[in-house]
Copies of this chain bind each other. A is one copy, B any other.
Amino acid sequence: MTNRINPRSGTAFKLAKGQRLVIIDPEGQQVSDLLAFNADDVREVVSNGRTFDYADTIYLTTGHTLFSNRSNPMLEIVADDVGTHDFLLTPCSKDTFERCYEDEPPHRGCFGNLAAALAPHGVEPDDIPCTFNVFMNVPVDGNTGGFTVDPPKSEAGDTITLEAKMDLIIGMTACSAPKSNAGSFKPIDYRIED
């Protein structure tokens, strides 16, 4: 069964160890901010710094594992049609809109959507770290350190598949920030495979 995350919204659900999460960009050029928490203790959460440390790269794709703040494997990327994702930036929030999109009406963003979806699982807003931003295209200039947020390279129907390495609570969005998805707000689909 394929589930849909409507434009500018979010959801949370359980993913058991060994299950695979297939994230689908149904229309192309859309971003999904992804979080993973240990289902038995939500103080353990995915960490960009630990993941970078163990991968020796900031660009993550098939074969890389997302690690927790306690250095445990959480999700392994087992298939990836796109190969371009971001793990540098925090989810867009009301503050992001105020600072980066002065001409846009403010929106609670992926941060607010994740906070609302994860609250029933005992996750507080301050516990939300950098998300793994699926399909988000943030090329970094290695000389200056500068980066841009470019349109995603994903085309309609492209997927990434992640396998759970422990029992997880997953938070996921269909991104709300104009820059991340070339100014169009689209849905994200996903399914869980045993």
- Asked if A156 is at the interface of the complex by the 8 Å CB criterion, the answer is no
Number of residues from A at the complex interface, CB < 8 A: 39
Distance A60 CA – B128 CA, assembled complex (angstroms)? 23
Contacts of A56 in B (CB 8 A): 146-147
Q: List 21 A-B contacts (CB under 8 A).
A: A44-B126, A47-B90, A47-B129, A48-B49, A49-B90, A50-B90, A53-B89, A53-B99, A54-B100, A56-B147, A57-B147, A58-B140, A58-B145, A59-B144, A59-B146, A69-B129, A70-B95, A71-B96, A139-B142, A140-B140, A142-B142
Q: Other CB < 8 Å A-B pairs besides A47-B129, A49-B90, 6 of them?
A: A49-B88, A49-B129, A53-B90, A57-B147, A58-B147, A141-B142
